Amino acid sequence: MGTTTDFALLARDPQTGKLLVDQIAYAAGVAGAVVADLLIERRISWDDRGKLQLMDPRPLGDAVLHRALAAVQADPKHRSVARWVSRFERREVQDDVIGLLLRRGDVSLQEKRVLGIFPSKRYPATTGEAGRTAFEMIRVVLAGEVKADESAQALIGICDATGVLRRVAGPVDRHVLKPFRDADVARAVRSSIEQHRASSTSGANAGSTAAIIT
């Protein structure tokens, strides 16, 4: 599950373990990366209507992707990539990814309390090697030094859609990013983030209006 773990590492400050983007963007990014990994591993594919279908139910030896694949297998219908991104945005998926990174030794757990009351968990990198490898792959692709393979295509598109790319690589020419932004998974991730943020804004505005009226 290279895309998923690479994204989870890049989305955090390696020193502090703090997320570089908000929870909405992170959840959508992880979900999109899970879908991308299933596509890369040829466990799912596109049907003639542009929806995702099961191709190979064999497990991948990875708990996160295994559960995701089981969800696809259990669904009798072919679904859009947007639907699966939405399904995989659950907190349990993110927890499973962090659990994998902890078991691999890529990150460590730091627990503390904010204001002495609210529990907080952060996951700083142990050596930073895995994150640096992912960043270097992004760098050489965007510089035109190598052609993007499926993993790089997915990772760059998802990092761009979530705002992670700008945080780790700085501004990138939009013409360079266009083929990555146009990928179906990246577009679904971006759309999900926009919808969640619009919903949050609408809810906040409605609450403010109600408070004024009362």
How does pLDDT run along the chain (214 residues), one tens digit per residue? 799 999 999 999 999 999 999 999 999 999 999 999 999 999 999 999 999 999 999 988 889 999 999 999 999 999 999 999 999 999 999 999 999 999 999 999 998 877 777 788 999 999 878 889 999 999 999 999 999 999 999 999 999 999 999 999 999 999 999 999 999 999 999 999 999 999 877 665 555 555 445 4
Q: Which pLDDT does position 3 carry in this prediction?
A: 97
> How many domains, in total, are found in the chain?
1
Is the Cβ–Cβ distance between 67 and 5 less than 8 Å? no
CATH number, domain with residue 163: 1.10.3630.10
Q: Which pLDDT does position 118 carry in this prediction?
A: 79
97 C-beta neighbours (distance < 10 Å), count: 21
Q: Taking the CA atoms of 15, 17, 20 and 26 in sequence, report the sign of the dihedral they define.
A: positive
Question: Domain residues for 36?
Answer: 2-213
